[in-house]
Amino acid sequence: MTTNDWNAADSGTFKIGGELSVHRLGYGSMQLTGKGVWGDPKDPDEAVRVLQRAVELGVNFIDTADSYGPFVAEQLIRKALHPYKDDLVIATKAGLTRSGPNDWRPVGRPEYLRQQAELSLRHLGLERIDLFQLHRIDPKVPLEEQLGELEKLRQEGKIRYIGLSEVSVDELREANKITPIASVQNLYNLSNRQSEELLNEAEKNNIAFIPWFPLATGKLAQEGGPLDEISKRLNAQPAQVALAWLLRRSPVVLPIPGTSTVSHLEQNVQAVELKLSDEDFETLNQLK
């Protein structure tokens, strides 16, 4: 693979909600925080450089959440990139509270979701959030109340599109009866495809599918295995091949690989150069 003339724009485009165009290879900001997704990063200056370099490399879709830090990632995004480029789309999430490192608890009370949306607007320096995602469905609160509040915020012009995270096909269908859902964000990668049915549902309805933890390869990358063989033949890293597979898997897939270093970011974006043959793609499809 070459080290120049590569750009996230080469990953293709997708229109969130049928209107909001983004380059399919985005960036996820969770790793810009401290250990356990808690507190400030070890190197705040490098975090700023990562975000700025991402945009330089054509990334115009950045995913974050109020709970990353909490608020650390959103504030870093504003510090690094505000005032924002006209084509930059920032997606954030609310619905998970934090009481310490690696501790995540769903809260979907309408007043809480509204409060967090208002705080995200302030922390990001936005008048409207392009994509606001319910980070988790709170089982203690009726779904129509959770999404009903987000719909009110949408009607007020404070958010543009509504998304969901970690949901089933049935939950997506139920949610769509309450308000239009523009995106779903579930764990999905080459080695974990439990959300395959949801991806198929999203593709059928032109809903953005945002796989989190997209670089995971697990045992598939072991020496001598098919992924290892394909990676070496393409002169690429296994994670780059995993990204290339995701981008080819479906036109609605928007991978958001995250990293805290510029060098790793550049390696991830280089994955757009990889062109998997039909044979390699089918081989990867069979790896589970």
Neighbours of 251 (CB within 10 A): 14
Give yes or no: 68 in active site.
yes
Q: Which of 27, 68, 161, 188 is catalytic?
A: 68
For residues 205 and 60, what is the distance between their CA atoms, to the nearest angstrom?
23
Helix (H, G, I), strand (E, B) or coil at 51: helix
Spatial contact of 260 and 41, defined as CB atoms under 8 Å apart: yes
Neighbours of 127 (CB within 10 A): 8
Q: Where are the beta strands (DSSP E) in the chain?
A: 13-16, 20-23, 27-28, 61-63, 89-94, 96-97, 105-106, 129-134, 159-165, 183-185, 208-209
Q: What number of residues does the chain have?
A: 288
Q: What distances in angstroms separate CA 25 from CA 89, 94, 139, one per listed residue?
A: 12, 23, 32
**Dihedral sign computed on CA atoms, order 146, 67, 256, 29:** positive
User: Which uninterrupted H or E stretch holds 283?
Assistant: helix 278-285
Spatial contact of 252 and 201, defined as CB atoms under 8 Å apart: no
For residues 112 and 157, what is the distance between their CA atoms, to the nearest angstrom?
18
Instruction: Report helix angle 238-249 to 278-285, nearest 10.
Output: 100
Spatial contact of 66 and 94, defined as CB atoms under 8 Å apart: yes
Active site residues: 68
